[in-house]
Amino acid sequence: MCCIKKRRSFWRLAAPALLAILLAAGSVGAAEKMPEFSEKNITGDGLVNSADFAGKVLLVNFWATWCPPCRKEIPALIKIHDKYKDQGFSVIGISMDEGGRRVVGKFVEKLGVNYPVFIGNAKLGRGFGGVMGIPVTFLVDREGNLVQRLDGYISEKVLDKQLYLLLKQKE
């Protein structure tokens, strides 16, 4: 009897954690729309406005300058942006840095980031379904639906495969 009680206790405690892991590990809810935003581009050349990306496939990446896996991902995002930008695609970088525009701007310039970047906040993170850790990447289809969530570092090869498939849909 004592073993049964221990197993029940274990599952009562473990079930919520397992559910959270399963929910965070893959696709986003059906037809969930990307939240609207309009923020100042980190390079100072206008606004990054969600409406300007209508009809495009997007890769939206939440990151920070102090995050090693985020820094490791950025060169792949630069390559992916260059590779697919003429096919109705864009990367959007949303920095979660608290250091401000100056810190992020220097970092973006140093790495030669070629896609729009702005500083995000907790409200925008909640609009994407919750950003609990970084990096986290969202893929958005041409209709503005969040179709996939990728938590943690994602290799260029994996990103390339996912985007190729998404860009081929409803061309």
Q: Which domains does the chain have, with CATH numbers?
A: 28-168 (3.40.30.10)
User: What gap in Å lies between CA 77 and CA 131, rounded to an integer?
Assistant: 19
CA-based nearest residue to 91, from 104, 77, 79? 77
In the numeric block, the tokens 């939206």 are attached to 60
Quickly list H helices, the chain. Answer: 2-24, 68-84, 101-111, 122-127, 156-168
User: What gap in Å lies between CA 160 and CA 22, rounded to an integer?
Assistant: 24
Asked if 114 and 84 count as a contact pair (C-beta separation under 8 A), the reply is no
DSSP letter (8 states) at residue 157: H
Cis peptide before 75 (omega within 30 of 0): no
Indicate whether this model's pTM tops 0.85. Answer: no
User: What gap in Å lies between CA 63 and CA 164, rounded to an integer?
Assistant: 23
Task: Give the pLDDT of the chain (171 residues) as one tens digit per residue.
Answer: 444 444 444 445 544 443 333 334 444 445 699 999 999 999 777 999 999 999 999 999 999 999 999 999 999 999 999 999 999 999 999 999 988 889 999 999 999 999 999 999 999 999 999 998 999 999 999 999 999 999 999 999 999 999 988 998 765
